[in-house]
Amino acid sequence: MSAPASRRPIPASEFDLIDHDGRPVSGRTFEGTFTLYFFGFTHCRMVCPRALTRLTTVLDRLGPLADRIRPLYVTVDPERDTPEVMRSFLLTDYPRFTGLTGTRAQIDAAMSAFRVFARRAGDPDDPDGYQMPHSAFTYVMDPLGRYVTHVTDAVHADELERRLAVILADPCSPSSPLAPPGGHR
């Protein structure tokens, strides 16, 4: 019998990227800990700063539980978001996050695995002449690299904190999305 679709490992664990320290990473690099993925780009003026601030606030509120989750910020704009740019951007305001970048093909593969939409669009107000409109979902994966849940950018920080606390405090509790059917361990 196969696992429910939400419990099967997803292809995201197969990506190959570069972290903001220049080290090669894959989805397997992060196995053993819960991971939180958010896709965006450092030149984003509204969605990404708002989302990263909300996620940082939630992680701060979780206290020691936050040590059980690794927040990752995956660029959708690798042409501008080099490891150095990602590191500088994140260390200033979002130091909990590890930035991930790579070649366009590598980023496209990661985006495809997570079903993330992003496309280049002209923007005369941007110094480089473009922006990257993109979907704004936060994905949570379990320590085995399996999909747990995702939330939209519209989910309030209080609700996200509550959901993550349930998942992180006791992944097998009956109220956790990771609990086996019937709540049995």
Chain segment 84-106, per-residue pLDDT in tens:
999 999 999 999 999 999 999 99
Three-state secondary structure of the chain: CCCCHHHCECHHHHCEEEECCCCEEEHHHHCCCEEEEEEECCCCCCHHHHHHHHHHHHHHHHHHHHHHEEEEEEECCCCCCCHHHHHHHHHHHCCCCEEEECCHHHHHHHHHHHCCCECCEECCCCCCCEECCECCEEEEECCCCEEEEEEECCCCHHHHHHHHHHHHHCCCCCCCCCCCHHHCC
Mean pLDDT of the 112-141 span: 76
Q: What is the pTM of this model?
A: 0.83
**Spans of all domains in the chain:** 7-183
> Can you give the pLDDT at residue 145?
85
Mean pLDDT of the 97-116 span: 90
Q: Answer yes or no: is pLDDT of 183 > 70.
A: no
The larger pLDDT score, comparing residue 67 to residue 185, is at: 67
Domain 7-183 sits in CATH 3.60.15.30: no
Proportion of the chain above pLDDT 70, given as a percent: 80
